[in-house]
Amino acid sequence: MQKSVDPELACPVAPVVDIVFSRWTTPILWALHEFGRQRFVELERRLAGITPKVLTQRLRQLERDGLVSRTYHAEVPPRVEYEITDLGASLGPLFAHLSNWADAHLGEVEQARHSYDVGR
């Protein structure tokens, strides 16, 4: 995400952010975590608004990072399925923590935005 002048000052969270929170990455991991093994078209339907090109790119990136596995079934027509790996599933508690923070604090964020917008 960034190179800092002094490596010790670099944000240690940044590499995880790139891996887990790139645009569309979180919803894809979430959908695979919640709804299990799926075909490309099923994922595409769940993530309304994503283009096939972006979904392909993101799945390839997640596969490369070891968070998602791809299974090719040599049938006619061929069938390809995507599934979260054990490494991907290890993000579960982190997502739960994020979800809890949202429940506890998203209202405060909305309130802050309102005050900011009114005060200008």
Residue type, 7: P
Choice between 72 and 77, CB closer to its own copies? 72
Residue entry with tokens 């190179």: 3
Please count the residues of the chain.
120
Choice between 52 and 66, CB closer to its own copies? 66
Query: Least Å distance between CB 32 and its own copies?
Result: 11
Angle between helix axes 92-119 and 25-35 (nearest 10 degrees) is: 130
Which residues of the chain form contacts with its own copies (CB under 8 A)? 1-5, 9-17, 19, 21, 23-24, 26-27, 30-31, 45-50, 63-67, 87, 90-91, 93-95, 97-99, 101-102, 104-106, 108-109, 111-113, 115-117
Query: Least Å distance between CB 78 and its own copies?
Result: 19
Choice between 18 and 79, CB closer to its own copies? 18
* Cross-strand bridge partners of residue 8: none
Choice between 48 and 76, CB closer to its own copies? 48
Phi, psi of 75, deg, nearest 5: -110, 180
For residue 69, the surrounding DSSP H or E stretch is strand 68-73
Query: Least Å distance between CB 38 and its own copies?
Result: 12
- CA–CA separation, 61 and 22 (whole Å): 10
